[in-house]
Amino acid sequence: MTAVESPTAAASGAAATAKFARSRATADTSPERLSAIAADALAALAGVIDEHGVTYPEYRVLKQWLIDIGSYGEWPLWLDVFIEHHVEEVAYRGQSGTKGSIEGPYYVPGAARLPAVCTLPMRADEAGERLVFAGQVRDLDGAPLPDATVEIWHADTLGYYSHFATNTPDGILRGTVEVDAEGRFAISTIKPAPYMIPHDGPTGWFIEKAGWHPWRPAHLHLMVKAAGKRTITTQLYFGGGEWVDNDVASAVKPELTLHPVTDADGVARVDYDFVLDPA
């Protein structure tokens, strides 16, 4: 794999942190529940320290690294890569429609509304293989959901997301697609490339020192909504692609794999239907 240019941790990390901090997260956790979760989390950590005989120098390096993650603005990156996939699995326990996957740090609400058959905003000379991604949104009984929206966002072929890198015009490779009367959509875009999470800051040091790799397979991000239905946040991957079997963010599920077929005109086409659970 040739190395692709990647967003700097300083730039995309700071942008992702600023976006998240503006939204001011809240949860209605009771003091009792907070106490129980915090006590178990600390006990789990104590178990790891015991088991590995963690030393004072290691403890101090950890302290320094935690400070660095914060000052580089990398908490959204690190948490969404190493923790979010498990929160997602718990959140969608018992759900039977389309599988979810992690949101990651680069969702921006309010992307341009586009008709059911559309082309995502992109540069005039956007690099990448053309992709037409089509499908239908239905409920668990198979009834189409004509009021659904399919929000889509993905990286360009160098791994940059608009709004999080200075070299991408705002709004490109993002859209809020309004499905037609039969719940159908057909979105023209480009096929993203595998994505290297920013690796020039403390998340990267951590990955390198541990001998891991910083790659995510190429992916489309989706958020599908309809009135009275549970919103599904998910990702779709390309079957057989690099890193599909070894995603640094552990966010691939076999049900979320696309197998596009490239036509004589050089356009890759694929269908994928979304099934929403009741809210």
Residues that bind ligand DHB (CB under 6 A): 77, 80-81, 102, 104-106, 195, 197, 216, 249
Strands (E) located in the chain: 113-114, 117-119, 130-139, 149-153, 174-178, 184-190, 195-196, 215-216, 219-225, 232-238, 257-258, 261-262, 268-271, 274-276
Q: Output 104 or 144, the one with its CB closest to Fe ion.
A: 104
CB of 105 to ligand DHB, least distance (A): 5
SS3 call for 166: coil
Partner whose footprint covers residue 217, from ligand DHB, Fe ion, none (CB < 5 to 8 Å by kind): none
CB of 217 to ligand DHB, least distance (A): 10
Q: Is 76 in the site for Fe ion (CB under 5 A)?
A: no
7 CB burial (10 A radius; 0-12, 13-18, 19+): buried
Partner whose footprint covers residue 80, from ligand DHB, Fe ion, none (CB < 5 to 8 Å by kind): ligand DHB
Q: Is 104 in the site for Fe ion (CB under 5 A)?
A: yes
What gap in Å lies between CA 223 and CA 216, rounded to an integer?
Answer: 19
Q: Output 172 or 249, the one with its CB closest to ligand DHB.
A: 249
Q: Is 194 in the site for Fe ion (CB under 5 A)?
A: no
Local structure of residue 19 (DSSP, 8 states): H
Q: Output 139 or 151, the one with its CB closest to ligand DHB.
A: 151
Q: Output 84 or 139, the one with its CB closest to ligand DHB.
A: 84
What gap in Å lies between CA 88 and CA 95, rounded to an integer?
Answer: 12
Interface ranges with Fe ion (CB under 5 A):
104
